[in-house]
């Protein structure tokens, strides 16, 4: 009997070892992870995984977020970075190597200074950190960033995405959300360094100056070559190398020659991002005389856009869901009293649609926006991307714009034009706006129907405008209002998503809109209930184990008595 039992035990042991070896062999051949978090925090995007598989050389990632006495927030960022790079390595294998180093570990001050300037020259931004110890407080510079070296080139990755006047916990969560995007963007730039597509900004029709488009342009340069093009009468200015044409807030009419060049570019499969205003208005007049005029003006694009399937109306939107502006409401002693009051002409759009371009986007601020209508056009599908709120009012130009509008409460009776479209995506096969016209500019045959292509029309040019100080020659990030400290992060992301989608680089869109729910501790509750939760976390586990042991022994005695 004992021999049989021993043989049975040996057989079970051998079977278990065989199963263990088999599972390990399968694990080496087939890779699979399970992410049980609600927002898929530990899952890489499909595009990131595809890019990692395409690496043909070692990407060495040096992370400078290392050191002693880090605050808990920086430790969270450090751990999240390490977890992400572990994920990168699990897909890329030996083609991804990473290391964490403390750039200020050397006590020699001269060496520290040399390293400091070297990292700044490479594009990393230092952050001053105050550390409290038994000797008091001390301050030192840290570099919450990384350098990726690949194929003989280097690219900087900024890990801490600081924003003006924002809560540190919010900034940290935003930084963790964007880790995959920032690392993937840097790898993309290194891999596609010599094969970037071109995005062109039209010039010659009073378009917005590049200084007021600076933040948008710099965001595009992470993915594309960006250039300004004077359309004029040059038939070849928009060629097959132009992946997308951006027309940003022109203020003078387009000639038929320029319209024809744009039209034929679209017929050849080109894509266009139209950022247009059909009503002129001036906030400077409001500051001096408390009123201004909203006047319609003709860009000579009405017939062309109508042909493609959309119409921008000479209207202005008032929306109860709007941004505030500073208004002088009286005097406080010998000083002016200023308040921030809602300005209905600056609608704040909370994207509700599920299209990838606008999914999970933050708020978008518009300024003196126009409404859109879509036209039934064979072969062209329309997707509304942005709409106003339920309490919306539509005014037709010309109209008087006065500051006293802030004294009126928005009511459903007067704000009775809900969900007005202000941005639309057109996709399909377009008919030429010059199909039945004689064009003297060209002796070439007119392309009458386009290849399958797409365009986005936005009824506001200021959606892309960042503030610029010509005296100091610096700009404010797009979407940031320095007067109120409010940051409308959706503006820049919407525009980048739009261009990515138009150029068929939409695989970056879900990375940019990835969102983690921030789960912070309730600090006031911790202060009042800390003793209770200490007991719960220390005593209860021990009591549970003791209770389980007593019950188990009781049942065992009853069973074998």
End-to-end CA distance of the chain: 25
375, pLDDT greater than 90: yes
CA angle (327 as vertex; 322, 330 as ends), nearest 5: 145
Q: In 10 A of CB 368, how many CB atoms?
A: 21
Q: Domain 30-190 maps to which CATH number in 1.10.287, 3.30.300, 3.40.30, 3.30.530?
A: 3.40.30
70, pLDDT greater than 80: no
Q: What is the dihedral of CA 375, 279, 457, 420, to 10 degrees?
A: -60
Sorted by where each begins, the domain ranges of the chain are 30-190, 196-504
Give the residue with greater pLDDT, 328 vs 339: 339
Q: How confident is the model at residue 561 (pLDDT cuts 50, 70, 90)?
A: low
Count helices and strands in the chain by DSSP H and E runs: 13, 27
- State the average pLDDT over residues 299-316: 95
Q: What is the mean pLDDT of the chain?
A: 84
- State the average pLDDT over residues 320-333: 79
Q: Where are the beta strands (DSSP E) in 451-491?
A: 453-458, 468-469, 474-475, 480-481, 486-487
Please name the CATH architecture into which domain 196-504 falls: 3-Layer(aba) Sandwich (3.40)
High-pLDDT (> 90) share of the chain, %: 37
The CA distance from 291 to 282, in Å, is 9
What angle do helix axes 72-92 and 179-191 make, rounded to 10 degrees?
Answer: 50
Query: Do residues 223 and 196 lie in contact, with contact meaning Cβ atoms separated by under 8 Å?
Result: yes
Q: How confident is the model at residue 164 (pLDDT cuts 50, 70, 90)?
A: very low
Q: How confident is the model at residue 471 (pLDDT cuts 50, 70, 90)?
A: confident
Per-residue model confidence as pLDDT tens digits over 386-429: 999 999 999 998 989 888 888 888 888 889 999 999 999 999 99
Q: How confident is the model at residue 181 (pLDDT cuts 50, 70, 90)?
A: confident
132, pLDDT greater than 60: no
Query: Do residues 349 and 386 lie in contact, with contact meaning Cβ atoms separated by under 8 Å?
Result: yes
């Amino acid at each position: 009997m004992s021999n049989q039992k021993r043989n049975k035990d040996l057989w079970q042991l051998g079977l278990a070892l065989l199963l263990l070896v088999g599972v390990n062999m399968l694990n080496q051949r087939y890779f699979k992870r399970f992410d049980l978090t609600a927002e898929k925090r530990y899952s890489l995007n499909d595009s990131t995984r595809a890019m990692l598989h395409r690496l043909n050389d070692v990407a060495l990632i040096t992370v400078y977020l290392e050191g002693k006495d880090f605050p808990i927030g920086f430790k969270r960022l450090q751990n999240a970075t390490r977890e992400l790079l572990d994920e990168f390595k699990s897909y890329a294998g030996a083609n991804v190597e990473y290391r964490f180093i403390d750039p200020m570990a050397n006590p020699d001050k001269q060496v520290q200074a040399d390293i400091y300037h070297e990292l700044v020259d490479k594009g990393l931004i230092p952050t001053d950190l105050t550390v409290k110890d038994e000797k008091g407080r001390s301050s030192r510079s840290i570099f919450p960033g990384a350098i990726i070296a690949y194929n003989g080139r280097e690219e900087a990755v900024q890990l801490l995405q600081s924003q003006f006047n924002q809560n540190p916990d919010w900034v940290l969560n935003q930084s963790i959300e964007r880790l995959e995007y920032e690392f993937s963007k840097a790898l993309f730039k290194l891999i596609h360094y010599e094969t970037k597509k071109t995005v062109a900004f039209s010039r010659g029709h009073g378009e917005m100056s590049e200084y007021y488009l600076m933040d948008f342009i710099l965001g595009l340069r992470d993915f594309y070559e960006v250039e300004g093009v004077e359309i004029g009468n040059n038939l070849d200015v928009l060629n097959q190398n132009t992946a997308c044409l951006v027309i940003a807030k022109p203020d003078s009419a387009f000639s038929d020659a320029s319209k024809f060049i744009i039209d034929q570019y679209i017929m050849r499969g080109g894509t266009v991002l139209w950022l247009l205003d059909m009503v002129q208005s001036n906030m400077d007049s409001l500051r001096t005389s408390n009123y201004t005029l909203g006047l319609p003006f003709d860009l000579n694009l009405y017939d062309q856009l109508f042909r493609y399937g959309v119409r921008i109306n000479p209207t202005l939107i008032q929306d109860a869901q709007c941004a505030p502006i500073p208004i002088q409401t009286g005097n406080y002693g010998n000083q002016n009293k200023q308040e921030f009051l809602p300005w209905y002409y600056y609608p704040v759009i909370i994207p509700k649609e599920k299209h990838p371009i606008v999914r999970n986007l933050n708020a978008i601020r518009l300024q003196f926006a126009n409404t859109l209508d879509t036209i039934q056009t064979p072969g062209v599908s329309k997707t509304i991307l942005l709409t106003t709120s339920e309490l919306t009012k539509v005014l037709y130009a010309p109209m008087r714009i006065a500051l006293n509008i802030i004294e009126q409460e928005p009511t459903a009776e007067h704000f009775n034009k809900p969900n007005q479209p202000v941005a639309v995506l057109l996709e399909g096969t377009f008919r030429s706006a010059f199909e039945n016209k004689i064009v003297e500019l060209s002796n070439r045959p007119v392309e009458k129907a386009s290849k399958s292509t797409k365009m986005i029309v936005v009824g506001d040019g200021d959606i892309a405008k960042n503030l610029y100080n010509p005296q100091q020659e610096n700009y404010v990030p797009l979407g940031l209002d320095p007067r109120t400290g409010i940051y409308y992060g959706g503006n820049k992301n919407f525009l980048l998503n739009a261009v990515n989608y138009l150029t068929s680089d939409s695989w970056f869109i879900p990375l940019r809109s990835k969102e983690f729910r921030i789960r912070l501790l309730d600090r006031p509750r911790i202060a009042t209930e800390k003793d209770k939760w200490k007991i719960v976390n220390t005593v209860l586990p021990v009591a549970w184990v003791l209770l389980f042991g007593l019950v188990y022994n009781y049942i065992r005695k009853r069973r074998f008595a």
